[in-house]
Structure 1
């Protein structure tokens, strides 16, 4: 009995490195791997920056213990923030309040002579709402003493003044507890507030949710 091969029958051939289809497949795999590597590298372009390890109030000096390092993606705005690569300008003071764990914009730091607002302690007996915290805004009202051992009608002295710090004041036994509010006062308004304090005026602080607008 004789076995014959059908006409046109194809025999399987062993793949060769010279096969164009195999080379194209290898190139596609390499291109895909390179694309994934590039994407991961682009997504991981982080840099070290300084963040505040505690709140830094306006006028407070920048020191090493107030900073810690974090890894962030800053991209094109890196030059606007304080980083270990550029160095920390210790000795400068905060001209804007910096919250805990916030990055340090360079514009938030400056020299003492650049401060156009300075903290003034105002002692109040009335309670402030919980929203009135360091960094929030308040209005400062002043009522000057009159000739009848009372006070004149209150007038608005400062609108939207920023709170630098809140400190519970001392109180006698059974007396109402006071609060010392450190208010940031512009240089132009400083004489009026200090004059009101010197004249034993009644000073009230009212939380202003709208800010300085």
Structure 2
């Protein structure tokens, strides 16, 4: 009769066991990764925000900006950081509202602007609440040879308002409004031509253009 052999005994793993060492390294690397991730999320970066509304084409200076600490993680390069500083001769290429972090994409140079502000004097008051960033349609009535005016025609649709300045009459009431609108280079000759020929200019709020 054959005597059954004894079952193999489980041996206590040795520190020299490569499988144990590999497992320990995996645990340590995973722990280090979690710690590094948490540390990066808790790290703040000094980023510039707009002290007041910054219109398109406005030169960026430290007086216009406020440094705020924020947690941005991997997207810190998407904003204008204090460490990077303000580039020389930098201007805003789009409206930066008050309190908004300044995007790096909104910082450029004057010669890189594809829209430029043009001042239009409007006698009729714009609707209450109209502000920079709103969209307006610009209508013109050209002067004729008989000192009358042609029918109004739409010259520029959905132009962005860069800035509003409401004037005051001698009695303290509001009179005309200077509306700075952003105009593409292609539409600039027609608008400047109308202004130089004393055309009547009407600015009409277009609330649906930006939606």
TM-score normalised by the chain length of structure 1: 0.75
Write the deviation string for residues 132-181 of structure 1: whole angstroms up to 9, x where unpaired. 21111111011112344322111111111111111123545699711111
How many angstroms does 1:212 deviate by? 5.6
SS at match of 2:124: coil
Equivalent in 140, 146, 164 of residue 142 of structure 1? 140
Write the deviation string for residues 48-76 of structure 1: whole angstroms up to 9, x where unpaired. 21111122111111111111111212122
SS at match of 1:165: strand
Counterpart residue number, 1:71: 69
How many angstroms does 1:101 deviate by? 1.2
Equivalent in 113, 116, 131 of residue 115 of structure 1? 113
Confirm or deny: 8 A CA contact 1:163 1:184 kept in the other structure. Answer: yes
Equivalent in 69, 78, 81 of residue 79 of structure 2? 81
Counterpart residue number, 1:10: none
Query: Would you say how many aligned residue pairs link Structure 1 and Structure 2?
Result: 178
Counterpart residue number, 1:61: 59
Q: Distance in 2 between matches of 1:119 and 1:189?
A: 12
Relative to structure 1, the CA distance from residue 77 to residue 176 in structure 2 (aligned partners, 3 Å threshold; closer, same or farther) is closer
Q: Show structure 1 runs of 5+ residues with no match.
A: 1-33
Q: Distance in 2 between matches of 1:71 and 1:97?
A: 22
How many angstroms does 1:131 deviate by? 3.1
CA RMSD of aligned residues (A): 2.4
SS at match of 1:169: strand
Counterpart residue number, 1:5: none
Confirm or deny: 8 A CA contact 1:46 1:74 kept in the other structure. Answer: yes
SS at match of 2:175: coil
Q: Distance in 2 between matches of 1:175 and 1:88?
A: 40
Aligned: 1:92 with 2:102: no
Q: Distance in 1 between matches of 2:174 and 2:70?
A: 47
Equivalent in 193, 196, 201 of residue 194 of structure 2? 196
Confirm or deny: 8 A CA contact 1:141 1:156 kept in the other structure. Answer: yes
